[in-house]
Amino acid sequence: MIFRRLLPEPGDLEGAEAVAGLAGREVLAVNMVCSADGRAAFGGVTAPLSDPADRELFHLLRAQADAILVGTGTLRTERYGRMIKDERRRAERAAAGLAPEPIAVTLTRTLDLPYDIPLFQEPEARLIVYTSSDREPEPCAAQLELVRLDELLPPAVLADLRARHGVRCVLCEGGPTLNGPLFAAGIVDELFLTISPALVGGRHPLTILEGELEVALALDLVQALEHDSTLLLRYRVRPRG
């Protein structure tokens, strides 16, 4: 797919160039979509806000990642399956020295997991579950690793992934409940935000970030792309202080 680049300089941009500089780098990037009026879902899911350009970016970002971090609520609502099924993308990752697909990672205090979704039914799927619960997981087909932490804090999860699994590039796909603690902890490096050309309304709007921040976080816009009226923005999070 060819995107129209608006920033840093106007021109056309091939898909893979949109995510340059992520693979192999120690980075935590968040990828989210929202409507033009700032809502992160419509009817409880993101699919109505997505389009071919957003889905292309979604897959391009996954192809760069060593691990994909996602909340259990999002796993359940969006009914996640394996991270990368496309054989071409898997082969490209292998040629670049990456595992065929990223490790799926989730956090849960209760160990209330959506065992009925495709991800848990796939024998090839690798899944790490971080929890502070003393419950045991149910049997499933996926290659599930359970990691217990006394305090379920995002920095501890990130440190464990990097120390024990050699993970460098981590992609977080939300949802907003998970995004909040990540940004609050100051560990997010980049934000990829797709703005859908749609208005969805709603009395109780769900934004891409749930919870309170002590201070507003400043962002630097480093890339702006457009495709069929959809805006695809790439921000770097400014270090605090």
pLDDT digits (tens, 9 = 90+) for 32-91: 999 999 999 988 889 899 999 999 999 999 999 999 999 999 999 999 999 998 899 899
Tokens 């806000």: give the residue.
Answer: 49
Largest separation between any pair of C-alpha atoms in the chain: 54
- Give Cβ neighbours of residue 223 (< 8 Å, ≥ 6 apart): 5, 7, 8, 18, 233, 234
Sheet holding 2-7, edge to edge: 11-14, 2-7, 219-227, 230-237, 190-196, 27-35, 169-172, 67-69, 103-108, 126-131, 143-148
Share of the chain above pLDDT 90, in %: 83
d(CA 68, CA 22): 13
Residue type, 118: P
Cβ(237)–Cβ(190) under 8 Å?
yes
What token pair was written down for 3? Answer: 């995107």
Q: Per-residue pLDDT averaged across 14-19, rounded?
A: 90
- Conformational region of residue 195, where left means phi above 0, alpha means psi within -120 to 50, and beta covers everything else: beta
Cis-peptide into 175, omega within 30 deg? yes
Query: Can you give the pLDDT at residue 223?
Result: 98
- In the chain the domains, ranked by start, together with CATH numbers, are 29-200+226-237 (3.40.430.10)
Q: What are phi and psi of 164, to 5 degrees?
A: -95, -25
Torsion, CA 59, CA 65, CA 70, CA 74, rounded to 10: 0
- pLDDT tens-digit map of 198-229: 999 987 778 999 988 888 999 999 999 999 99
pTM: predicted TM-score of the whole model, two decimal places? 0.95
Q: What are phi and psi of 157, to 5 degrees?
A: -65, -45
**Partners of 230 in the β-ladder:** 227
Pairing between strand 2-7 and 11-14? antiparallel
Q: How confident is the model at residue 187 (pLDDT cuts 50, 70, 90)?
A: very high
d(CA 128, CA 69): 9
Cβ(61)–Cβ(22) under 8 Å?
yes
Whether the pLDDT of residue 7 is over 90: the answer is yes
